[in-house]
Amino acid sequence: MDASFSPEELAFRDEVRAFIRDNLPDDLRNKVSQGLELNKDDYRRWMMILGKQGWLATNWPQEHGGPGWTVAQKYIFEEEMAVSACPEIVPFGTRMVGPVLLRYGTEQQRKQHLAGILSGETIWCQGYSEPGAGSDLAALSTSAVKDGDDYIVNGSKIWTTQGHIADWMFALVRTSKEAKKQDGITCLLIDMTSPGVEVRPLIKLDGRHKFNQEFFMDVRVPQANRVGEEGQGWAIAKYLLGHERSNGAGVAGARMMLDLLKKIALDQQADGGALAEDPAFRKKIADLEMQVTTLQFTSLRALAGASADKEIKPEAAAGLKLGMAEIRKSISEACMEAGGYAAMPYNQNAIRFGWNEEPVGPDYLFKMAPDYFEYRARSIAGGSNEVQKNVIAKRVLGL
């Protein structure tokens, strides 16, 4: 396989770099570089800049407002976004709700929601997990009962990424307890400003507010906000979760973390030496370098297959997700080891609201402890490592 990009793709990379250089606000670049928490205005501002350029819904068909990029261009775009300290795109509108509405939504739903998603003005969140339904999503119990032209929704969702800044939620709810568990699930679009919706923050160990728990107490949702038919929610969820992702940002992020580790190892320590002079630590860096390179080529191999209209099989996606979670966890552990005592303290208020004190040691150590906690959690988010291993065992090994 030729893993290199074509001259046209390299020219596209230069175009993306120039756009980011000229359009990314300095205050957003600085907040991302320092690992500070972004607020709703930060995310929306950058998404609207991309939306104006037509670069927000990169996975949408061109006739519906997408840029018409190839799979390789999407990969390059995600990679450049990651290495340039751009804010993450809140993905639920463009990656999830938009494609679902294009496939299953009514004409009225498309008219109401697609324009706001394309422009970056409307922010969405995903209401799937519940306190009693995480990996076993079919066990969800949040109920929706018909009442006139509405549904009355009661229950709770948890671990909702960016729920506190979202304008809308697409949620899976239970409309029947009599059928097979999967057959009693329906998809609803819920206005987060509706009476009876309460959002409570879940502050992570890394100090950032990203997750939330929502409580729904007799929330009225118009039946016109149902996507598809009653009981079709499970099929919609499978379609949504299988939607294409190109992994450019994940590989680029791992490479950036590895570069930071090398920088720490080359810096002089208190005793006048550098960790890079230690053969054992050099071996650790070399091992991590090989793992990152392996993941990069695995991702590019999947990219080449997708470019040739070959299906990316679930076991391949699971392997990439598993490998990415493990390598970033390993690199963050090595960074903590290299940073020593200066990397260990951290202040949650500093992460959330800015650091106003003199840092202990080099300023890049400020992110070490938060990143360490973040990437340990990544082994659970989006499907735990154990779930990914089960997928690989069943689909590849036949166990």
Q: Which residue is listed with tokens 């409307």?
A: 122
Please report the DSSP string for 266-313 in residue order: HSB-TTS-BGGG-HHHHHHHHHHHHHHHHHHHHHHHHHHHHHTT----
**Domain-embedded: residue 117:** no
Residues 220, 269: one domain? no
**Domain-embedded: residue 241:** no
244 is catalytic: yes
Residue 130 confidence class, pLDDT cut points 50, 70, 90? very high
Q: What is the CATH number of the domain that holds 253?
A: 1.20.140.10
**Domain-embedded: residue 243:** no
| pLDDT value at 284 more than 60 | yes
Catalytic residue among 8, 229, 244, 277: 244
In this predicted structure, what is the pLDDT of residue 2?
44
Range among 126-135, 158-167, 257-266, 346-355 with highest mean pLDDT value: 158-167
58-89: pLDDT as tens digits: 989 899 999 999 888 988 998 899 889 999 99
Residues 328, 197: one domain? no
Residues 189, 292: one domain? no
**Domain-embedded: residue 268:** yes
Sign of CA dihedral 76, 78, 82, 86: positive
Residues 152, 196: one domain? yes
Residues 296, 378: one domain? yes
Q: Which residue is listed with tokens 């550098």?
A: 274
Beta carbons of 112 and 98 less than 8 angstroms apart: no
Q: What is the CATH number of the domain that holds 218?
A: 2.40.110.10
226-249: pLDDT as tens digits: 999 999 999 998 887 655 445 555
In this predicted structure, what is the pLDDT of residue 1?
36
SS3 75: helix
Residues 224, 279: one domain? no
pTM score, whole prediction: 0.82
- Spatial CB neighbours of 368, under 8 Å, sequence gap ≥ 6: 332, 335, 336, 339, 343, 344, 346
**Domain-embedded: residue 83:** yes
Residues 81, 173: one domain? no
Report the domain count for the chain.
3
CA distance 266 to 274: 6
Residues 381, 259: one domain? yes
**Domain-embedded: residue 109:** no
Of 231, 265, 285, which residue sits at a domain end?
Answer: 231
Residues 255, 210: one domain? no
Q: Which domain holds residue 33?
A: 7-89
Residues 211, 292: one domain? no
